[in-house]
């Protein structure tokens, strides 16, 4: 059996394990049952909802869920009849990222083993150990590289700290055959990139971490992997670029895509152009009182329409729209250089007569988050014009929910809300203000 085959089998079994954890595109039957129960409870609540509690609400980027188990917070997802989540398919993206790294290793062969010790060593930057997307990506990479071990929740996604000797119980050594020689694949180090003030996915922390790792075991690092491009680019600029060590991220931010020309090895587009559209489009449809699929699976009067199954998926039990991901590598990066261009099929201006201006309150959990500030918000600002929405953008500090909720002092001023939480468990901090 060739190594590619081993990789895909490992990936497939890991994917079924991740699905059980309930984060991402599909639901297990247990999750569906509890979703149905929660949804009838919420229907009763929704019938009574009035005032701010009845206004359209979309959660985005951080799905209301238990940060330890990944279980979805169906109370928050069913807050009222006009509540949805918009994100992307975390499992499909994680599988793509893992496969991209695995393919690179098999196709670049023995030249990757920089110190010739027979081990392909990689380090991993983890964004937030309690965030569905981060957990899925850590699992996807470990599964594809054969370093995954199972724990009670599926594939173990805990950081190893340092594991240069291969003794960590959060991972195992994988093995891979390159040109007839078997190499060990080892996760040499990984940590959650959280700064001292508490902000997660922190690029500066990742830039420092690679410096620390490189000075103690630098020649053992053959590959650098990150849960996102913000951290990946910090590591690339601090160390891997000048040492020619392939570095992989996630998000396809414009700076990361441009860096592919300088040796950044690859990233994943989570189709932010589709997500930003959906975030505002579901609010628009609820405000207009039209079918939720208008301009989504069904063309609107202006001709906007997405393709279900290619651009996105909808999971009714989870009240969630998930954009689909695409791998961006040296082969196709030219098509992704500007991450802030609206998606052509949904770039038509709505008529202000039928869709009059409405006010939306929207927060970004951390104004310094690379993906949200450099890719997502610029897209939102283009779509808000096209959809006739007057959006007030609030940028949080990435650390405390109250930094954001303090600025939702007067919800009466707004017609709808779009919420990006600091922590996925904290939906009630927002909904309590709408009650």
Nearest-CA neighbor of 302 among 352, 356, 353, 351? 351
Of 28-36, 298-306, 342-350, 369-377, which segment contacts ligand BGC by CB under 6 A?
Answer: 369-377
CB closer to ligand BGC out of 77 and 374: 374
Q: Which of 7, 60, 183, 250 is close enough to bind ligand BGC by CB under 6 A?
A: 250
Provide the β-strand partners of residue 308: 312
Contact 184, 116 (CB under 8 A): no
Q: Is 139 in the site for ligand BGC (CB under 6 A)?
A: no
Pairing of strands 83-88, 266-269: unpaired
- Least Å distance, CB 264 to ligand BGC, is 15
Contact 226, 247 (CB under 8 A): yes
Q: Is 63 in the site for ligand BGC (CB under 6 A)?
A: no
Provide the β-strand partners of residue 122: 187, 223
Phi, psi of 80 (to 5 degrees): -145, 180
Binder of residue 117, out of Ca ion, ligand BGC, none (CB less than 5 to 8 A by kind): Ca ion
Query: In whole angstroms, what is the distance from residue 275 CA to residue 266 CA?
Result: 21
Q: Which of residues 70-109 bind ligand BGC (CB under 6 A)?
A: none
Nearest-CA neighbor of 3 among 213, 175, 226, 147? 175
Q: Return the DSSP state at 345.
A: G
CB closer to Ca ion out of 221 and 362: 221
Q: Which of residues 111-130 bind ligand BGC (CB under 6 A)?
A: 127
Q: Which of residues 188-217 bind ligand BGC (CB under 6 A)?
A: 201
Distances (CA, A) of 384 to 115, 391, 412: 52, 7, 20
Spell out the residues 6+ positions from residue 346 whose beta carbon is closer than 8 angstroms to its own: 274, 277, 281, 295, 304, 305, 306, 383
Binder of residue 250, out of ligand BGC, Ca ion, none (CB less than 5 to 8 A by kind): ligand BGC
Contact 250, 319 (CB under 8 A): no
Binder of residue 369, out of Ca ion, ligand BGC, none (CB less than 5 to 8 A by kind): ligand BGC
CA 239 to chain centre: 25
Q: Is 369 in the site for ligand BGC (CB under 6 A)?
A: yes
Binder of residue 71, out of Ca ion, ligand BGC, none (CB less than 5 to 8 A by kind): none
- Least Å distance, CB 413 to ligand BGC, is 26
- Least Å distance, CB 372 to ligand BGC, is 6
- Least Å distance, CB 9 to ligand BGC, is 27
Measured over all CA atoms, what is the biggest interatomic distance in the chain, rounded to whole angstroms? 69
Q: Is 230 in the site for ligand BGC (CB under 6 A)?
A: yes
Alpha-carbon dihedral sign for residues 87, 123, 142, 130: negative
Phi, psi of 6 (to 5 degrees): -55, -45
Binder of residue 376, out of ligand BGC, Ca ion, none (CB less than 5 to 8 A by kind): none
Distances (CA, A) of 164 to 83, 191, 213, 223, 225: 46, 14, 10, 14, 16
What binding mask, one character per residue, do residues 22-61 give for ligand BGC by CB under 6 A, x or -? ---------------------------------------x
Query: In whole angstroms, what is the distance from residue 238 CA to residue 260 CA?
Result: 16
Tokens 């920089």 belong to residue: 114
Q: How many amino acids of this chain bind ligand BGC (CB under 6 A)? A: 12
Q: Which of 23, 27, 38, 62 is close enough to bind ligand BGC by CB under 6 A?
A: 62
Of 99-107, 294-302, 344-352, 364-372, which segment contacts ligand BGC by CB under 6 A?
Answer: 364-372
Q: Is 132 in the site for ligand BGC (CB under 6 A)?
A: no
What angle separates helix 272-288 from helix 377-386, to the nearest 10 degrees? 40
What binding mask, one character per residue, do residues 102-131 give for Ca ion by CB under 5 A, x or -? -----------x-x-x-x------------
Query: In whole angstroms, what is the distance from residue 12 CA to residue 104 CA?
Result: 19
Binder of residue 228, out of ligand BGC, Ca ion, none (CB less than 5 to 8 A by kind): ligand BGC
Q: Is 371 in the site for ligand BGC (CB under 6 A)?
A: yes
Query: In whole angstroms, what is the distance from residue 227 CA to residue 268 CA?
Result: 10
CB closer to ligand BGC out of 251 and 401: 251
Q: Is 279 in the site for ligand BGC (CB under 6 A)?
A: no
- Least Å distance, CB 300 to ligand BGC, is 27
Give residues in contact with ligand BGC (CB under 6 A).
Answer: 61-62, 127, 133, 201, 228, 230, 250-251, 369, 371-372
Give residues in contact with Ca ion (CB under 5 A).
Answer: 113, 115, 117, 119
């Amino acid at each position: 059996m060739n190594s590619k085959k081993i990789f895909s089998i490992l990936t497939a079994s890991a994917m079924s394990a991740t699905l059980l954890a309930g984060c991402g595109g599909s639901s297990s039957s247990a999750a569906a049952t509890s979703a149905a129960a929660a949804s009838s409870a919420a229907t009763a609540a929704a019938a009574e909802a009035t005032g701010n509690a009845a206004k359209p609400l979309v959660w985005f980027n951080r799905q209301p869920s238990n940060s330890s188990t990944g279980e979805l917070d169906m109370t928050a997802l069913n807050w009222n009849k006009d509540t949805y989540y918009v994100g992307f398919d975390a499992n499909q993206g994680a599988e793509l990222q893992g496969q991209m790294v695995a393919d690179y290793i098999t196709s670049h062969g023995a030249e990757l083993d920089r110190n010739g010790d027979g081990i392909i060593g990689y380090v991993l930057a983890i964004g937030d150990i309690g965030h569905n997307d981060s957990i899925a990506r850590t699992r996807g990479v470990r599964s594809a590289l054969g370093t995954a071990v199972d724990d009670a929740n599926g594939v173990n996604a805990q950081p190893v700290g340092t594991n240069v000797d291969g003794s960590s119980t959060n991972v195992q050594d994988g093995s891979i055959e390159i040109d007839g020689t078997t190499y060990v694949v080892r996760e040499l180090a990984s940590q959650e990139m959280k700064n001292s003030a508490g902000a997660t996915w922190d690029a500066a922390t990742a830039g420092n971490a690679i410096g620390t790792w490189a000075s103690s075991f630098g020649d053992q690092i053959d590959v650098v992997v990150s849960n996102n491009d913000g951290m990946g680019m910090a590591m690339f600029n601090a160390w891997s670029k000048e040492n020619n060590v392939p570095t992989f991220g996630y998000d396809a931010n414009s700076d990361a895509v441009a860096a592919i020309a300088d040796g950044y090895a690859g990233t994943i587009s989570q189709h932010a152009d589709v997500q930003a559209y959906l975030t505002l489009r579901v609010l628009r449809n609820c405000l207009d009182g039209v079918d939720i699929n208008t301009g989504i699976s069904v063309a609107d009067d202006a001709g906007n329409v997405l393709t279900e199954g290619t651009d996105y998926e909808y999971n009714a039990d989870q009240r969630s729209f998930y954009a689909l991901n695409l791998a961006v590598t040296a082969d196709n990066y030219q098509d992704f250089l500007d991450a802030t261009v609206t998606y052509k099929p949904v770039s038509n201006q709505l008529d202000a007569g039928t869709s009059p201006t409405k006010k939306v309150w929207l927060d970004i959990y951390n104004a310094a988050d690379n993906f949200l500030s450099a890719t997502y918000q610029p897209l939102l600002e283009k779509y808000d014009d096209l959809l006739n929405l007057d959006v007030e953008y609030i940028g949080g500090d990435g650390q405390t929910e109250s930094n954001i909720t303090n600025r939702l002092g007067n919800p009466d001023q707004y017609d709808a809300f779009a919420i990006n939480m600091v922590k996925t468990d904290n939906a009630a901090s927002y909904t309590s203000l709408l009650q």
